[in-house]
Structure 1
């Protein structure tokens, strides 16, 4: 089930970041148990009344002239149109309706994407409502008055935004075919891999304006089974500064990963594994997806009998937060081991959807506890009452214990390894939820 993507677009100083931060709250910090993954303040996972969505900040604008503002706003709007399911267009009641607002509104209207028009800095609804009505002139629906800094009207705004989620979810539900996202840094060979799989140049990579409409979904049939490949390539505009490209590729990656069942992280063998690779792989890890690490351009590496071993160690070291990921050495150029890619994807898909019977699961846990005592603190020892698997994609387990504080991360990791020893679960992360139960209840 993929989460809807919501993007914020607006001029400088209308309160984009204030709105982003007040929605994201404090939960944007680095995820504790994931070394190597910093959370850029580009996206945040938000929950509203039981609905989860990903919020994207399309980027800051450096105002030095109104022309620059307009062109950069168009760029932002384009990113939002390309990647988001719902767009929040934010304006400022104090500055009133500005020419560039109207121009961007035209663009958003033509995209036929759902847009929620938000008028910010409305600190006093009684007094400022007449000024809010002026924004009806944009012709993109009813303006929703808010004050991002005082958190007024935010609930009404989120209600409007989430009205559109059902359509997004219904569309996704219908398609049962496995979705595979191919992600990685620019120029690691993502499109070449898909082209090779298709046996033809179906994925057009060109930098003519107008072909940046991305996340090109391609259907690939292999051994009678259909797969949808989501390609995040494209956007090779020469004039883009590095930070902007990086931001864009992270937004792209987040949106592709959200929709995927299995993520193929492509690494350039010649360049070796980098921090940026870890950042990209971390997005898939954080979202509990199946992961295959494909080291591409393997044909270009001089090898001896130790090369694969050394290389695997280096990848494992840099991506130490995902020891479960499958590593493959491929070449899109020569087609080397590409057929193995499908076998690996199928295995990961099966593991993502695997369910373990509760009886068997508790036997493994009991045995694990017998082999290695649970942690204790000040004479109180962790007791594990019961474990059960509650969902798949990723396989998620609830462990009922006497005291949450005693369930140390390292011990849960130990139990995870025991479960993996028995069932494999190769290529997928496992999620553990610790629930406390008082002695009496158990």
Structure 2
């Protein structure tokens, strides 16, 4: 139980800022109810299924052309559905990897994995049924085949791990499953992948012609410690169990992309593996999952750093916050389980506690919610859209330089070795994050404290009050001087 629930801890300094960010109260609005949240217009879904360790994730990565799902010899590694938008010329499909049918390392997860697979099959436009011809078919392959015969969906059999003449001869065994001529590939060696990709697009037909437009999609990376409620939050967003929720720590190992829409705006929630202390990352799967979480932050537009209102903030929370700060990524501190804590602390007290214990997040908005009950989600989504808009704002050069002149006049950098830093002009060079080039006489004459002062002044006066701003001090070339 965090100390905050017994009153704000003594001795913790609370630093006021010039424009306090918002702390959103937990609304009692119902959960987000998007229309068909997992179906994006014009994008057919191709679902990869099969028993554990036949190479589904390797095939998924080969078709995607990058490492999206974790590949590991350990059976049952892919425990959530992992999706990827695959574009080929003017066609787009959503490729989905699933957990292996029938075998999982923790017995308690078997039912949840099977339910995930069932949902994926119900949403599929085409099923890729993968078998391992090198090891040959076994009883589990026939069990999977029996389940798939009950699914009313087109199916393509994929004979994987065909890497030699003897493997080619073994392909004939796959015919016994009754699904017709199999596509022959070696996902590991990337053999037959191009032909399989062509076959997949041919099978889905004209449904894939509409290209996926992603420029207006807000990508939300959901990060935090293990078991803080990330997957529960995703499931509340889409209205059903899209990601496995379990008391087993580390259940989510892949970074799972979940597309949905709300109030006419499209989002992709990226549910990531919970980040642990380095010494507790015990196997290659956990290592890759943690690396995937960090990579998910690099491709996100907004980060949701999830905190548990019933637990103290800790080193890992600070580590994640530091990483989002380093990336200049707009971040919302999402306080989950507030329904269990609000009787013992006010929102103002908790906000002060969080800002005092997680450095660098003084401008990050705080959202108080209950992921399990779906409370507070509409406000969180609207706030995410606002932060995305802020990070995309451009400020004209004239206005920018008026702010710069006033800031420089009110506080100049300290003199060093008889010299003082001079500021000439500034321009905005990019957005997401807002990035400014400030031309000066010598960048080494501007101490870190002055740079932070200028960033805060820009955030206070420009439309970037809750998002990070990047500053580049550039030495002005002599020939540019008037």
Aligned match of 1:431 in 470, 473, 478? Answer: 470
1:54-111 CA distance string (max 9 Å, x none): 99xx9xxxxxxxxxxxxx97469x79xx899xxxxxxxxxxxxxxxxxxxxx99x969
Higher radius of gyration, 1 or 2: 2
Q: 1:337 aligned to 2:376?
A: yes
1:370-403 CA distance string (max 9 Å, x none): 1112321122111001111100111000111101
Aligned match of 2:426 in 380, 384, 387? Answer: 387
Q: What residue is the counterpart of 1:412 in the other structure?
A: 451
1:273/1:315 contact within 8 Å kept: yes
Please report how far the alpha carbon of residue 212 of structure 1 lies from its aligned counterpart in structure 2 after TM superposition.
6.3
How many Å separate the matches in 1 of 2:386 and 2:321?
Answer: 19
Q: 1:192 aligned to 2:222?
A: no
How many Å separate the matches in 1 of 2:281 and 2:311?
Answer: 20
1:178/1:226 contact within 8 Å kept: yes
1:183/1:232 contact within 8 Å kept: yes
1:267-320 CA distance string (max 9 Å, x none): 11101211111112222222222111101000011536x632222122112321
Q: What residue is the counterpart of 1:242 in the other structure?
A: 280
2:275/2:316 contact within 8 Å kept: no
Q: 1:183 aligned to 2:223?
A: yes
TM-score for the superposition, normalised by structure 2: 0.53
Please report how far the alpha carbon of residue 424 of structure 1 lies from its aligned counterpart in structure 2 after TM superposition.
4.3
TM-score for the superposition, normalised by structure 1: 0.58
How many Å separate the matches in 2 of 1:74 and 1:334?
Answer: 37
Instruction: Kindly indicate which of the two structures has a greater share of residues assigned to helix.
Output: 1
User: Which structure 1 segments of 5+ residues have no match?
Assistant: 1-53, 59-71, 85-105, 113-137, 142-170
How many Å separate the matches in 1 of 2:216 and 2:73?
Answer: 35
Q: What residue is the counterpart of 1:100 in the other structure?
A: none
1:207/1:235 contact within 8 Å kept: no
Q: What residue is the counterpart of 1:153 in the other structure?
A: none
Q: 1:221 aligned to 2:261?
A: yes
Q: What residue is the counterpart of 1:272 in the other structure?
A: 312
Q: CA distance change for structure 1 residues 215 and 389 in 2, over 3 Å: closer, same or farther? A: same
2:421/2:442 contact within 8 Å kept: yes
In the alignment of these two chains, the number of paired residues is 293
Q: CA distance change for structure 1 residues 199 and 172 in 2, over 3 Å: closer, same or farther? A: closer
How many Å separate the matches in 2 of 1:342 and 1:355?
Answer: 23
2:407/2:454 contact within 8 Å kept: yes
Q: Which has the higher relative contact order, 1 or 2, with Cα contacts under 8 A spaced 6 or more apart?
A: 2
1:212/1:235 contact within 8 Å kept: no
Partner SS, residue 227 of structure 2:
coil
Please report how far the alpha carbon of residue 207 of structure 1 lies from its aligned counterpart in structure 2 after TM superposition.
9.8
How many Å separate the matches in 2 of 1:377 and 1:235?
Answer: 42
2:231/2:271 contact within 8 Å kept: yes
Aligned match of 2:442 in 394, 403, 421? Answer: 403
How many Å separate the matches in 2 of 1:139 and 1:326?
Answer: 44
How many Å separate the matches in 1 of 2:333 and 2:188?
Answer: 47
1:275/1:318 contact within 8 Å kept: no
Aligned match of 1:282 in 300, 303, 322? Answer: 322
Please report how far the alpha carbon of residue 436 of structure 1 lies from its aligned counterpart in structure 2 after TM superposition.
0.7
1:269/1:301 contact within 8 Å kept: yes
User: What RMSD over aligned residues (CA atoms) do the two structures have, in Å?
Assistant: 4.0
Partner SS, residue 452 of structure 2:
helix
Q: 1:356 aligned to 2:395?
A: yes
1:85-144 CA distance string (max 9 Å, x none): xxxxxxxxxxxxxxxxxxxxx99x9699xxxxxxxxxxxxxxxxxxxxxxxxx9848xxx
Partner SS, residue 252 of structure 1:
helix
Report matched runs for 1:150-165 at 5 Å. none
Q: 1:376 aligned to 2:415?
A: yes
Please report how far the alpha carbon of residue 243 of structure 1 lies from its aligned counterpart in structure 2 after TM superposition.
2.8
2:441/2:475 contact within 8 Å kept: yes
Q: CA distance change for structure 1 residues 235 and 410 in 2, over 3 Å: closer, same or farther? A: closer
Q: 1:231 aligned to 2:271?
A: yes
1:362/1:387 contact within 8 Å kept: yes
Aligned match of 1:298 in 335, 338, 350? Answer: 338
2:337/2:371 contact within 8 Å kept: yes
Greater mean alpha carbon deviation, residues 198-207 or residues 280-289: 198-207
How many Å separate the matches in 2 of 1:353 and 1:363?
Answer: 21
